[in-house]
Amino acid sequence: MHDGLKIATIGGGSSYTPELVEGFINRADELPVRELWLVDIKEGREKLEVVGALAQRMVARAGNPFKVILTLDREAALKDADFVTTQFRVGQLDARAKDERIPLEHHVIGQETNGPGGLFKGLRTIPVILDIIEDMKRLCPNAWLINFTNPSGMVTEAILRYGNFPRAVGLCNGPIGIQRGIVQTLGVDPSRVFVEFQGLNHMVFARRVFLDGEDVTADVIESMIASNGDAISLKNIADYAWDPEFFRALGMIPISYLRYYFKTSAMLADGERALVEEGTRAQVVKRVEHELFDLYRDENLDVKPPQLAERGGAYYSEAACNLINSIYNDKRDIQTVNTRNNGAIRDLDPDSAVEVNCVITKQGPIPLTTGELPVSIKGLVQQIKSFERTAAKAAVTGDYRTALLAMTINPLVPSDIEAREILDELFEAHKDYLPQFYRDGVPVWKTAPRADAPNESADAGCGE
């Protein structure tokens, strides 16, 4: 690495960018950023210019020496970069609204990273992330890719299986939020607490909590039951309290996304109610973003506004900047990231992406062994991993039947018939962003099969 770091952020026009900028400013003493390149596509030019100007004002206010450069030229941004962060959304929020609305019209949960919506976000995103990786191989082969783009677990799975690029890590702010909630519940200094995480992205569990080396998991669960909550309430997920006896029986602290699987009927009803009363979550976020960008346009604003917390990105900068800082400085601390399993979870394929505690080194994350999954969650975790692997294969091959298989095996989809109905509607809704499935506007599954499809079995379920 040269004198000072060049960091490229793909999707730089995101409303989350001020979080990232603040994180780099706060770590200036040990993370010598020289240039931060914010890159977007032409459809995102206006947002890039607005958020980029705020980023430049934030840096100027802090008296930091690094430059913030705005560009639509991805290759220029990637050239000789040391770190590349990705936070883009193919099709923008309009695509997310379709991911959420169309399943709900079939009485199936519509959510952007779980179920049918997560499948189609992955189908749109994975080819783009793999294109970015090919650019990185040419332009910055020694850079680290830090992916925040959802569905982060599925995207990381695709990178590991099809990208042939080992310097990539998937990231989510969920585990940090859970850990913060646990520390708050215990009312102690964070340095006294260790949380063992085990699972997948958006399906992770705080399996054990230690205070000064003593296992206090049961005490934390009791405190959370008493407060009628869990470790963290995410802005995009209805905050239904866990049944106390179920919570005790589970014996672990689940991320809020587990409500989609353990409280399916209530979450579906909430989504259907919201669709009528306030619109999809994407429509709500659109309104929040409109207010945020009105704030960002204020030339007197030179700090991250507190309203950004309403966007749902709490601890984003902490997760991303801590990871970059630890890789660069070889800190060898423990963080929870999405990386190759390598035996950390015994019940999953060693090459699959998992979300576990890792020692973060200059050579990347080294996952800590967690052993077998508890039998109570083993089947669900393996089923979601089968879904992720099948979905990643569909995204790469452009094969309709593989996409149908992925849709059908997702536990939120009730049958193969409904799976195909939802699949076909979502394909039609998103065809402009799914070139691997279409040729000149004609679905490829109605023409000849592709000859370049990778030969990778989709049979990756229970017992792998």
Is the pTM of the predicted complex or chain greater than 0.75? yes
Average pLDDT, the chain: 92
- Angle in degrees, 0-180, between the axes of helices 416-430 and 400-409, rounded to the nearest 10: 130
pLDDT band at residue 306 under the 50/70/90 scheme: confident
Task: Give me the sheet containing 353-361, strands edge to edge.
Answer: 67-71, 33-39, 5-10, 83-86, 144-147, 168-170, 333-340, 353-361, 364-367
Is 315 one of the catalytic residues?
no
Residue 136 near residue 165, CB atoms below 8 Å: yes
Q: Any idea of the CA torsion for 121, 123, 126, 132, to the nearest 10 degrees?
A: -90
Of 151-155, 166-170, 308-312, 418-422, the poorest mean pLDDT is in 308-312
With tokens 């509607």, the residue in question is: 425
Q: Three-state SS for 172?
A: coil
Q: Which residues of 171-197 are buried (b: 16+ CB within 10 A; e: fewer)?
A: bbbbbbbbbbbbbebbeeeeeebebbb
Alpha carbons 333 and 191: distance in angstroms, whole number: 12
**Which tokens sit at 139?**
């332009």
Task: Say which of 162, 257, 296, 328 is annotated catalytic.
Answer: 257
Does position 451 have pLDDT exceeding 60, yes or no? no
Alpha-carbon span 333 to 174, nearest angstrom: 18
Q: Are strands 364-367 and 333-340 parallel, antiparallel or unpaired?
A: unpaired
Closest CA to 257 of 204, 328, 296, 313: 204
- Whole-number pLDDT of residue 168: 98
**Most confident stretch, 195-199, 240-244, 314-318:** 195-199
Q: Which of 50-64, 175-189, 195-209, 437-451 is predicted with the least confidence, judged by mean pLDDT?
A: 437-451
Q: What is the mean pLDDT of residues 108-136?
A: 97
